[in-house]
Every structure is written in C-alpha cells, then in structure tokens.
A and B are shown apart, each in its own frame.
Chain A
Amino acid sequence: MATVGLEQNNQTKPLWLLAELTYRCPLQCPYCSNPVEMSKYKKELTTEDWFRVMQQARKMGATQLGFSGGEPLVRKDLEDLIKEARRLGFYTNLITSGVGMDEARIVAFKEAGLDHIQISFQASNEELNNYIGKSKSFQHKYEMARLVKKYEYPMVLNIVLHRKNVDQIKDILDMTVDLNADYVELASTQYYGWSRINIEQLLPTREQLKNAELVAREYQEKMKDKMKVIYVIPDYFENRPKKCMNGWGNIFLTIAPDGSALPCHAAGQLPGLEFPNVTDHNLEWIWNESPDFNKFRGTSWMKEPCKSCDEKHKDLGGCRCQAYMLTGDATNADPVCGKSEFHEELHSDVDRIGKLAGDEKFEAKPLVFRNMKNSKNFTAKKTPETV
C-alpha cells in the first residue's frame, strides 16, 4: 500500500496545522506568543490562500487544524474557512479569547462544521482578567463559555499561569468546573518574546508552584471522569528540557498571518531561517525539502552535550528558541537541561527573581502590554532578547 513506503522512509507528517489567521487582537496580554515584531507584518493571506494551504496540508495527512491568531474572530471569512476545513475532513479547533463572538456566530460556526472551541481566560476574577488582557472581557467570556456548552461543543478553557494569577489556581479551577469545561489547560507562561520582556513581573516563585501543583493534582483526581486538567510545570524550574513541539518539523506546522511557514510559532526569532512562504512554495516542498524544516530535524545537527547524550531521542535537545535566546546559539542544548553549561545561570536568574518577588518596588514595575505601539518601539530598538 502507498502509505507503507512512507512509513518505511520514516517520513514525518504535519499532523497539526496551526493557522495563525491574523495578529490583530482586541486583547493585549503581556505574555502573548505572537512575535514582538508583529507590527512588521502588514499583509494577511487571502481566503483562497488559506483554502490552498488547507488542501495541501490535508493531502499530506494533517488531521488537526487550529484557527488561531491574534484573535481569529476578527477574520470575516472565518465561517468560510471552517466550512472548507470541515469539507476536507479536518478536526477544526477555534482558539479564541471569545471577544468578537456572539450566539449567532456560535450557531453559524456549528453549521459550518466547527468541532471544538477553546476560550482563554486571563484570571478567575473580573478585575485581574480585565487588567491582564487590557480589555473589559470577563463577563463576555463567561457568557460565551456557557453558550459553547449549550451548543454541545467540546470546550477547552485555557488559562496562562504566571506570578500574578497562579495563587488563584483554586478559584480558576472552580470557575472551570462551574462552566462545565471538558478540558482545562493550565499553561505555564513560556518565556519567549513578549513574556521574556515581562519575565521579572511574570515568573512565579518556587513556593507558588509547589502550591499550584498540589491544587492541580487535587482537581485532576477529583474531576477525573468529568474534566481533564492539564498542568505542566514551567520548564525554567526543571532539570531536563521538554521535547519541544514534539520535535522540529515532526508533527507541527505553523502558518503565520503573512503565509510564512514555521516549525513552531516562536521560531520566527531564530537567526538564519529563510521563512518559506506558502504564496511562493507548496507545503510538500516546505515540509520535506526546505532548509528551515530540516535545520533541526532529528539529531544530526546536535553538538555536545546533546550529541553523546543517551537521552537525546527523548527530548531532542529541548527548545531551539530557548537555546538561542539564553545562549546566543540555537544549536546549543536547551539551558533547562542540567548538562548545559548555561543551566546554572538560568537557575540563578530564576532564584534572583524569586527573591525579589513580593517586594513592593519590584512589583510596581509596569508590564509591557502586547500591542502594535509597543511592538513598533521594540522592533525599532531590537532589544527584546536582551531585556
């Protein structure tokens, strides 16, 4: 059979297509995963471009499709994109803040064939939620989450955790129980881009994490037949790196709003990448042949201590973006790893912030919110990595 040959060649497939439809967003979360330089990207792919990308990805075996952003709801053609995705046989995920949604649109998405809606909350109380997102969105999100369940979608609630909200973890989980979530993602902030700029204000303390883990475990046990709670401790506190994106060019394919194809949504910051664009190349070439997608695929790019490490197939050296950001060289081991010569430096920085946390003056430092104005400032200065 045709597929047998492919498997023998050990060819990877882009099973997960993340379509970042736009960088426009009504929220301004200071840990946003979009690039700090997002103001440089003016052009967005057209509806027909996205149709073509989806068709090509599906043909290569993609099954999961995430509509993300920015805020995907600002795209007026979202219903059409969902319809085409469903026609092609994708499992379609809408990853949204809920801002820009209403009952009519939830119904329209259902008719178009949308499978799942994920709504983000910034906190479990209105004041903090609205402060972090810089948007009066809490009540609206709550209402939208109720409607998502009313129309029988499976619902994921996503809450990014950091020093300012992690102590509310019990309230957050009670809120997700109240909203009948099917899955809860307690996503620890990853410190790239915007969150790297704000790391001093966002990094939790070890004590906070200890408590958060206990509470998360308690709810995992208590709710196990009703709601799946996913909680991963932030890797800055670990001694072994995670297998980032399940491996470079292994199953994840991100398409940025302008059509740049990336092995991960944060990879835009790495030097030496060419960012092949879907308006110039087909996905087959981008995935299988392009230099970018082969650059860190597998283990042949590694140097010591990864190269001779007996765990190299387990974690694939961790995250390339983190290695670049913290060591200046993307081919280094992820400093989260205890074998990295930069590991101690990372942990002492974590401890430094931990000691300062709670200090009135330290806590008063303002957050840099994710918006086009700040993006322009930082892009002009080109300093975010060194902040």
Chain B
Amino acid sequence: MTIELKKEDILEISPTFRFQWEEMQNCYVVLYPEGMVKLSQSAGEIMKRIDGNKSIIDMIDDISTAFNGADVEKDVLKFLEVAYGNGWIRTK
C-alpha cells in the first residue's frame, strides 16, 4: 500500500468485508467473497474495536487498559497495517 496509516486516523471495516464471531471456529473471522480468514485472539481483540468512531490512539489505549496496561502499540500497528493492506479496513 502506498498510503500509510496515521495514529489519528479513525478506522472502519470496509463494506466489502464482514467481520464476525464464529462460534464453531471459536474465533473471530473476516469474510469476503467465497473466502474466510480466521483471526488470532489478539487480532480479534483489535478488529472488534474498529467501529468507525475510535482513532488508532483510542484503540491502543483501550486495548492496553483491557490487558492490565500492557504495551501493545507495536503489535496493534503491525496488525492494522496487515488488515489495511488486505483491504479489510479503511480510514474514515
């Protein structure tokens, strides 16, 4: 991708992808035409916070709080770049 994400960016799930919890797989998944990607637990924690309102900074704070103040910034940014590169998410 040529455009890079900035920490102030507000993210949303792209309308051409669907993100949902799959009971039988016991994980979050991303669905697209004729395909599915299973997400790891940490990827699921990040994706479920993408709601079209929160900025990346807000998300990092939120996840850090949820996990006892852990330093999650690097991991979150790394995953968001992958998700963005795959077109699962876009900036608002």
Chain A interface residues (CB < 8 Å from chain B)? 1, 3-4, 13, 15-16, 60-61, 63-64, 66, 89, 91, 93, 115-116, 118, 152-154, 156, 182-183, 225
Contacts and interface: CB of A to CB of B under 8 A. Distances in A.
A209 B3 CA distance: 36
B21 to A, nearest CB: 9
A225 B84 CA distance: 11
A149 to B, nearest CB: 10
Contacts of A15: 36
B68 interface: no
A190 B15 CA distance: 33
B35 to A, nearest CB: 7
Contacts of A154: 16-17, 32-33
B3 to A, nearest CB: 10
By secondary structure, the B interface counts as loop
Interface residues of B, number: 19
B59 to A, nearest CB: 24
5 contacts: A16-B34, A61-B24, A93-B34, A115-B33, A154-B32
A63 B34 contact: no
A313 to B, nearest CB: 21
Most interface-central of B2, B15, B26, B33 (chain A CB within 10 A): B33
A1 B23 CA distance: 11
Given A3-B25, A13-B24, A115-B31, A64 B16 contact: no
Contacts of B15: 152
Given A63-B29, A116-B33, A152-B15, 14 more contacts: A3-B26, A60-B24, A61-B22, A89-B20, A91-B36, A93-B34, A115-B18, A115-B33, A118-B33, A153-B16, A154-B33, A156-B34, A183-B33, A225-B2
Contacts of B25: 3, 61, 63
A64 B31 contact: yes
A33 to B, nearest CB: 15
Interface in B1-52: 1-2, 15-18, 20, 22-26, 29, 31-36
Contacts of A1: 26
Contact of A182 (B1, B16, B23, B29): B16
A118 B35 CA distance: 13
Interface of B: 1-2, 15-18, 20, 22-26, 29, 31-36
Contacts of A3: 23-26
A91 B18 contact: yes
A41 B16 CA distance: 36
Contacts of B16: 152-154, 182
Nearest to B1: A225
B91 to A, nearest CB: 15
A3 B20 CA distance: 17
A16 B22 CA distance: 14
A312 to B, nearest CB: 26
Contacts of A93: 33-34
Contacts of A60: 24
Given A182-B16, A225-B1, A156 B33 contact: yes
Contacts of A156: 33-34
A115 B25 CA distance: 21
A182 B20 CA distance: 21
Contacts of B23: 3
Contacts of B35: 64
A154 B25 CA distance: 24
B26 to A, nearest CB: 5
Nearest to B22: A63
Contacts of A89: 20
A261 to B, nearest CB: 19
A93 B25 CA distance: 20
A290 B33 CA distance: 30
Could you say which of A15, A93, A115, A182 has the most chain B C-beta atoms within 10 Å of its C-beta? A115
B34 to A, nearest CB: 6
A153 B14 CA distance: 11
Given A91-B18, A154-B16, A66 B34 contact: yes
B38 to A, nearest CB: 10
B51 to A, nearest CB: 19
A91 B31 contact: yes
Nearest to A63: B36
Contact of B31 (A63, A66, A225): A63
A183 B32 CA distance: 11
A265 to B, nearest CB: 14
